[in-house]
Chain A
Amino acid sequence: MTLREQLREKISAAFYRHGLLCASYPVPIILFTSASILTCCYPLLRLPLPGTGPVEFTTGVRDYSVPSHEPQGDLGERPDWYRGPPVAYIQQVLVKAAVSPWDSSLVTVDVFRSPLGRAFSLLEEIRNHVHSDSSGVRSLETLCLQVTDLFPGLRRMQSVLPEHGCLLVSPGNYWQNQRELFDSDPDLLKTIQKHEPQRPAHLDLLFGVPGKYTGVSHYNKKKVVTYTMTLVLSRYDARFLGSLRARLKQLHPSANCSLRDDHMVHVHFKEEIGIAELIPLVTTYIILFAYIYFSTRKIDMVKSKWGLALAAVVTVLSSLLMSVGLCTLFGLTPTLNGGEIFPYLVVVIGLENVLVLTKSVVSTPVDLEVKLRIAQGLSNESWSIMKNMATELCIILIGYFTLVPAIQEFCLFAVVGLVSDFFLQMFFFTTVLSIDIRRMELADLNRRLPAEAGLPPPKPGPLRTREAPPPPRPSPHTITLQTPAFRNLRLPKRLRVVYFLARTRLAQRIIMVGTVIWIGILVYTDPAGIRTYLAAQVSDQSPLGDPGGGGLPPHLGVAPVFRGGDPTSTLGINPAPAPTPIPDNQSQGHHGSSRVGPLPEAPPPSVPQITWGAEDEEGWRRLSFRHWPSLFSYYNITLAKRYISILPVIPVTVHLSPQEAIETRHPQDTKHPPPSIPKVAADIQTDLTLYKVAALGLAAGVLLVLLLFCLYRVLCPRNYGQNGVTHGRRRRGDLPCDDYGYSPPVSEISPLLLRGHSMDIECLASDGMLLASCCLAGQIRVWDAQTGDCLTVIPNHGLRRSSSSGCWEQRDGWESVSGAAETECLGSEAHGSSISGDGLSEGEGYPLRRRTAPSRPTLFTDQPDLTPLIDTNFADQPPSHLCTPPREGFDFGGLVERAYMEHEPPSPSAYPSPSSASSSPPSGAQLQRRPSLGDSSAFLTQDRASTAGTQATADWESSVWAMELRGNLIAAGRSSGKLELWDAVEGSLRCINEDGVSGITALAFLNNRIVAARLNGSLDFFTVEINKPLGLLQYRGAPGRGSMPPSPCYSSEDVISCQLTRSVQCAHQKPITVLRAAAGRVVAGSQDHTVRVYRLEDSCCLFTLQGHSGGITAIYIDQTMVLASGGQDGAICLWDVLTGSRVSHVYGHRGDVTSLVCTTSCVISSGLDDLICIWDRSTGIKLYSIQQEVGCGASLGVISESLLVTGGQGCVSFWDLNFGDLLQTVYLGQSSDGQGVRQLLVLDNAAIICDFGSELSLVYVPSVLEKLD
């Protein structure tokens, strides 16, 4: 054994144990796995959430210094991006201006005309501000961000945005910063709104506050105009800014302003995703989805396909998360774009292992315990899993040595992901799989529980549930491998989709969850979202927040005057610095900020009031978060992955006197009285926004639904049982397990092989407890049907009760006997021999024989030896036999009935004298085919010396053609026409009846009565009489199959006699091929195209059923008086036994119908064309058909209402009758080819007995109850 094999075995064993562990403790293991996933993912909380919203970081102004590029040791809460200088510093000067006191003589334009006009002087002030100290003289020109051309294609913006100079934005830009233009502008609002609509609006851009806060409109009730001057600085100079701030405050002090100015905010912008990048990204994701779809589609034969597919995806995803989490934990920060590399990671890790595991597990034998199935499936695939994983790790390790940082990082993630994926597969997925399989079995158990109460009376199907076909009726043994919903064949697909949706409410739930997530994301990412909204709400509700609207609350009028009473100044009100007005616009460094002076003028104690609230402190927050990126982008400066620093705002309060306002009026202003319906217009404006938002939300919702629907369509396999017939027709070649290139694993509980026979088994009989088999050598063995032990051997040579040792002995003995038989020139054949020659040509032979027929048995011994003639027949016949029947090879050991129907001997079949020996020649011809297998057992010898009763000696020279078993009596019909009764337990011959001479081709044993069909077409009715010495009649506990009355048990003391009560001489014109008995009826089918029904008690022929156009080949009758017959014409007839009428007549096969079985709802037939057809019993409509492999056996058995067993080449297959799906194939031996299963018996304990060459196979159908401890 090489090292490799050793390793392989060890791995396999380890996986086996692991599988046992997982399946034994599913819940703890899942808990453990979830805990580890959560633990590993915990570090992810520290990572920034993905999203394009900007991220903020606040530092103090006083000790601000430009952050260095190198990461420093003690970063604290400092984010990664806070390195190096920002793109720019933003200094906003927030101006609030109002005309006060308001005069009724003023018009609405006055509200903003003169305040805006003041912007120009302020602008002048700022531009000309110069700060000089020891380090030199600085002006705005030296500090500000110099911009060049606007981005090409923005010509429209040229009029409003500065070019080639300082980036300084103010409302004055509308008028090119020229006071003259402003003054001569007749309609300010028109100028401002000319550039609408833009995103973000120019209004916002130039005013620096959102449009509705500016107050520049005709309907401004607050009569306060707000705007900002935005200075964009490239360098930070604290002293210059300080002096500017002081200067502006001196000029325009803000009385009650309590804005904090000690914090600057750094805003980091994420990478912008453009269409050019989005399309490849989307493509990769589509490929990823297709990959997942095609992968998970292969999951099959489990309880919940969706559940397992979900588990598979969860496994991969959480392994990725774990990988990222672990890497973060150990200090590796992901620098790659997660969204970009994610699909590749998934593809590298792959879903393959998970699928392989599933397939391996579901292809284990169904009858095993769940634990064992899991363990076996795992260990079967262990080697390939380990090999693949090792290969992948190697490849990734090679990638690691490329020394490219990005690839290294990717590889690192992939390696950790692979390992954690392996971990999850082993623990999480395996456990989920075991739970799934267990659920499957529990479902079966629930379904069959009612059946345990009593024997199942075939109930009418329950009401059809809307999504499923009638569930399989309660029956003791049911195998269901998938939920009916997924394997439903009958309902149209559309309906099933609807039902599925309705049942799970999947769509609603997904939409709900999606909507909630979507709203959450909106709220999270929108900087103007809920936070600012709430803040605004709070301040609006405060008394000073909204002085507008109708009249002013009385207390507002005085509040600003008494600064201490301002309720919003919770931050504390500094004694306002009262800088002395400085006549010039220059400040000196040493005294710039130290000047404190009285207020130059007291704010006029009248409306409108200018108030400063907390919301003004960081007024830029109210802007769109794309405000700054778009401003910079106009100059081709990108903020992606960079940050800007926003300096504390400089508040400026401007009060204008009414005279001033009137002076600055444009002549046209008074000509435009304000529209009389200002409020409505304003409402409409806001309403329009609302509607827009609502429409947008609606559209997004619809889009989401459509997306989900598409996703569902993509994910939902299109062919769930859509064409069930093709499902059903799945050939043996593409079993589920073969689809993926797996050989079916060797099952752990292999079918029990009953060995002992030396030759092919010919007859098989069982009564549920015992099993009798007879081989070509004539040996009868009795087995215990439960355990498979060989109880008795009835040897054909002497009454030697031997074990299986006698194989060769018997054969030797047999040869000697046959040799003796030859030399003895058995005379009894003489009479028939002359006829047999004629029999080959029926036309002339028939009348001749009719005349010569009435020969008496006494003449038998006088007949000459026929052996040579038989030999001739033997030589002649085989070629014709070989070429005519399609499946000669299988028929040799087959039922005698089969032999008859396929090789109808051209022999006379109706003889007036039943016991005449004239029928023996055809029987000889029949027999010769069987001995051709290698034994010369066909010599028809007759031992006239047999006696009845216990002194009976068996007839060893003729072969057993038919056998039945009831109680512990074996009835064996021999080719010589003798009927023997054996004690099955003791192996002693109890009785022999040799009233008939023609070979017994079929036997029926029912209620002390034995019916024997003979080769010449006669039916003999025997009665078994038991004379008990002790008067005891014991009944065995085990009833016969179905509701048959329990067979009496014959004890060895009984004297059993078997008497011919009636012989129907001419039951059929041609040989009887099939004989069945049930419910007090005996049904015989014959080559003469008719079926006859006899009453068992009085042997009276009730009906002769005509309807077939060929010989009868198969008959089914059961306790419920259902009679079905199949013929050589491929037709199947259903008859009413009570009236003798034909219920239905269908053609289903090209060729003979080889066997027929009925369940309460359907009829199953198999034919020579290797087709299994399932018919609806009541309507006679073909439900579906299963195409089998060529040459597989024709044997059929029904275990329960929904479980069908068929025999094949070296295997038996289980089919689900409701859906026509192949459930399982059980291989009987290692060499699956060669022997076919020809006979198949279903026992009461759900075991199946089938012959397999010279062996018998006992297959236990899995019973869930047995597995449930």
Chain B
Amino acid sequence: MPRLEDHCWSCSCASRIETKHSSGANWLAHKAEEMMSIITSVLSNAYGSLHDVRTANLIRRGLVLFTVGAFLALVLNLLQIQRHVTLFPEEVMATLFSSAWWIPPCCGTGAAVVGLLYPCLDSHLGEPHKFKREWASVMRCIAVFVGINHASVKLDFANNVQLSLTLAALSLGLWWTFDRSRSGFGLGITTAVLATVFTQLLVYNGVYQYTSPDFLYVRSWLPCIFFSGGVTVGNIGRQLAMGGVEKPHMD
């Protein structure tokens, strides 16, 4: 049953954040060591076969989060390639697949790490997240996140400051509406800062670049996107963690 649920979840609703061109690589790098630590802990757990169920659960959640993250990255990346749509599907597909292949996996990994970190942090802090814990709310959160991305791409703002401020307000609103926990806020901020720094590094080293950078080398709205992405993935992760534990009561 949990597997079914997860499956349903991963294929029916794709949501995750981290879309932007830059985010993927960034995630990959700065999450790598965290990932390693998690992997080692997972392995050690596996050795003590007592934790089989827990480990399996963890891996499953990680997979789901990875899928969601990768899919969202792909989809939201497409938002960037819009406008100059040609009438030739071949061309579009070519553009689609010619874009850097490493983005979705990176975003997926980042999503998995953040999504697993959130419930972990909750349990360590000892304040379980109780606010709006249901799938409908998670769906809403994802939709709002996609909407924020959509807005950042499509809306024409007078200047970049306005755009960034608007997006920041939207991100904060997302957090307030769906999270409202200090740990969530803190982790989101951390995620945003780390991811932005990493993106800066990537751009500085010439891996790719932005057409019109206005914040050192990147766009100034990037942190907002990262923040809201972190919160959204955290929401999913928490729900998954909860669903795994209290599956019988989920209905």
Contacts and interface: CB of A to CB of B under 8 A. Distances in A.
Interface of A: 151, 153, 272-277, 279-280, 283-284, 286-291, 294-295, 297-298, 340, 343-344, 347-348, 350-352, 395, 398-399, 402-407, 629-630, 633, 714, 718-719, 726, 734, 739
22 contacts: A272-B87, A273-B85, A274-B82, A274-B85, A275-B92, A275-B93, A276-B81, A276-B92, A283-B14, A287-B139, A287-B146, A291-B140, A294-B138, A298-B136, A340-B150, A347-B147, A406-B154, A407-B166, A633-B86, A633-B87, A714-B12, A718-B4
A294 B139 contact: yes
Contacts of B155: 404, 406-407
Contacts of A347: 140, 143-144, 147
Given A276-B92, A279-B78, A280-B78, A286 B144 contact: no
A403 B251 CA distance: 43
A351 B248 CA distance: 24
B85 A287 contact: no
B139 A290 contact: yes
A631 B220 CA distance: 40
A343 B147 CA distance: 9
B136 A276 contact: no
A348 B85 CA distance: 29
A1116 B214 CA distance: 84
Q: Which 7 A-B pairs have the closest CB atoms?
A: A274-B85, A291-B139, A294-B136, A290-B13, A294-B135, A347-B143, A295-B136
A342 to B, nearest CB: 11
Contact of B13 (A287, A350, A405, A630): A287
B41 interface: no
A126 B86 CA distance: 32
Contacts of A291: 136, 139-140, 143
A277 B87 contact: no
B82 A276 contact: yes
B12 A286 contact: yes
Contacts of B88: 153
Interface stretch (B100-108, B156-164, B192-200): B156-164
B249 interface: yes
B26 interface: no
Contacts of B37: none
Contact of B162 (A350, A404, A739): A404
Chain A at the B interface: SS class: helix
B39 to A, nearest CB: 30
B79 interface: yes
B89 interface: yes
A830 B76 CA distance: 94
Contacts of B76: 280
Contacts of B144: 344, 347-348
A633 B86 CA distance: 8
B143 A402 contact: no
Contacts of B86: 151, 274, 633
B248 A726 contact: yes
Nearest to A277: B82
A403 B87 CA distance: 35
A295 B251 CA distance: 11
B105 to A, nearest CB: 18
B38 interface: no
Contact of B143 (A287, A297, A398, A719): A287
B15 interface: yes
Contacts of A630: 87
B75 interface: yes
B8 to A, nearest CB: 8
A734 B248 CA distance: 11
A290 B95 contact: no
Interface of B: 4, 12-15, 75-76, 78-79, 81-82, 85-93, 95-96, 134-136, 138-140, 142-144, 146-147, 150-151, 154-158, 162, 165-166, 169, 173, 248-249, 251
Nearest to A717: B251
Contacts of A288: 143
A153 B91 contact: yes
Which of A291, A351, A399, A726 has the most CB atoms of chain B within a 10 A radius of its CB? A291
Contact of A276 (B14, B95, B162, B165): B95
B136 A279 contact: no
A347 B162 CA distance: 24
A633 B135 CA distance: 44
Given A287-B14, A297-B251, 14 more contacts: A272-B87, A274-B92, A280-B76, A280-B82, A280-B150, A283-B75, A290-B135, A294-B135, A344-B144, A344-B150, A347-B147, A402-B169, A404-B155, A407-B155
A637 to B, nearest CB: 11
Contact of A287 (B134, B142, B156): B142
A402 B162 CA distance: 8
Contacts of B134: 294, 298
B141 to A, nearest CB: 9
Contacts of A283: 14-15, 75, 146
Contacts of A739: 249
Given A274-B85, A276-B81, A344 B147 contact: yes
Contacts of A406: 151, 154-156
Contact of A398 (B78, B157, B169): B169
A286 B173 CA distance: 23
A404 B158 contact: yes
B249 to A, nearest CB: 6
A946 B205 CA distance: 110
A395 B173 contact: yes
A172 to B, nearest CB: 25
B144 to A, nearest CB: 6
Contacts of A298: 134, 136
B15 to A, nearest CB: 6
Contacts of B158: 403-404
Contacts of B79: 280
A351 B14 CA distance: 20
Contact of B249 (A398, A714, A734): A734
Contacts of A343: 143, 147
Nearest to B155: A406
Contacts of B162: 402-404
A495 to B, nearest CB: 20
A350 B140 contact: yes
B224 to A, nearest CB: 14
Contacts of A275: 89, 92-93, 96
A351 B135 CA distance: 13
A630 B89 CA distance: 13
B147 A276 contact: no
A404 B92 contact: no
B85 A272 contact: yes
Contacts of A287: 13-15, 139, 142-143, 146
B135 A276 contact: no
B83 to A, nearest CB: 8
Contacts of A407: 151, 155, 166
Contacts of B140: 291, 347, 350
B108 to A, nearest CB: 16
Contacts of B15: 283, 287
B151 to A, nearest CB: 7
B12 A290 contact: yes
Contact of A286 (B13, B85, B136, B166): B13
A347 B92 CA distance: 30
A273 B85 CA distance: 8
Nearest to B74: A279
Contacts of A714: 12
Contact of B75 (A153, A280, A295): A280
Contacts of B90: 153
Contacts of B147: 284, 343-344, 347
Contacts of B251: 297, 719
Nearest to B81: A276
A411 to B, nearest CB: 11
Nearest to B11: A286
A629 B87 contact: yes
A288 B147 CA distance: 12
